[in-house]
Amino acid sequence: MNTDSTFHRSGTGPAGRRAGRVPSLPMPAIHPPRQPAIPDEGRSSKIMRIFFIALLTALSFAGCGQKSFVQKASSMEPTIKADETIRVQMDAYRSSSPQRWDVVIFRPPLHSVSAGINTDDLGIWTFRIVGVPGDIISFDDAGLLINGNPPTGRSALIQDIQYKKATASGVLTTARSPTYPLTIPYGQYFVLGDNPDLASDSRLWGLLPRESILGKVAKK
């Protein structure tokens, strides 16, 4: 009896193996099949992508219509007087190129600042285009020459303005002042003020890049 009860308790004998509980075995864990890893763009990449999309959208609207600016300097007198409000066509050059005699507003190129020329309060300048890509600019005693000839095609408003060489106007040259004759390359423009004696224009700091031009001043 003791022996049988020992077998029943311990489950070590034949009777114990028949009457004892079969130990339960753990079921193997079932995992879903792994999906192939998809590379993550990263948070910074996503932010940059959103930023550039927003920037392009803003730029597509920034050039539309007209905007008003105040001319701070007297460098365009008598055409545009100091403190005069001007209307600017911001989309004037969306599908065309700037033309000779256009009055344009632009952000001063970096080389104009390096020449020691200070920007105005708005950081925007206004000058007239007198030389376009392919032109050869020079000066004689009478003033500006375009492709070896006195300028033609000017409106009556500026017919009597003498665009003179910087030193002839009393305007000092700088280290960035161009040498003449000057051939204007593609994408560059030569700009002058209608008040040559007080204009810090291309005679002092060189050519204006196309990408710096923001718009065309209306009816000037």
Q: What is the pLDDT of residues 94-149, one digit of tens each?
A: 999 999 999 999 988 776 655 555 544 447 899 999 999 999 999 998 899 999 99
* Residue 21 within any structural domain of the chain: no
Hey, what amino acid is at 6? T
Question: Mean pLDDT across the chain, nearest whole number?
Answer: 77
**Residue 13 class from Cβ within 10 Å (0-12 exposed, 13-18 middle, 19+ buried)?**
middle
For the whole prediction, is pTM greater than 0.85? no
What per-residue confidence (pLDDT) applies to 155?
79
What pLDDT score does 188 carry? 98
pLDDT > 90? residue 185: yes
- The two tokens of residue 70 are 């105040």
Give the pLDDT score at 42. Answer: 58
Distance between CA atoms of 201 and 172, rounded to whole angstroms? Answer: 11
- Residue 19 within a domain: no
In this prediction, residue 217 has a pLDDT band, given cuts at 50, 70 and 90, of very high
Domains identified in the chain, total number = 1
Name the residue with tokens 């051939």. Answer: 183
Confidence of residue 8 (pLDDT cuts 50, 70, 90): very low
Tell which residue, 32, 7, 34, 2, has the closest CA to residue 19.
7
Residue 22 lies in a domain: no
- Residue 174 in any domain: the answer is yes
Across the chain, where does the E strand assignment appear? 66-71, 84-89, 103-106, 125-131, 136-140, 143-146, 182-183, 188-192, 208-209, 213-217
Whether residue 200 has pLDDT greater than 70:
yes
| Residue 24 forms part of a structural domain | no
Q: Which CATH number characterizes residue 103's domain?
A: 2.10.109.10
Give the domain range for residue 111. Answer: 58-217
> Can you say whether the dihedral through the CA atoms of 202, 208, 212, 217 is positive or negative?
positive
75 located within any domain: yes
Q: Tokens 């100091």 map to which residue?
A: 82
Q: Is residue 15 part of a domain?
A: no
Under 8 Å between Cβ of 37 and 48? no
Report yes or no: 105 and 215 within 8 Å, Cβ to Cβ.
yes
Whether residue 17 is contained in a domain is answered as no
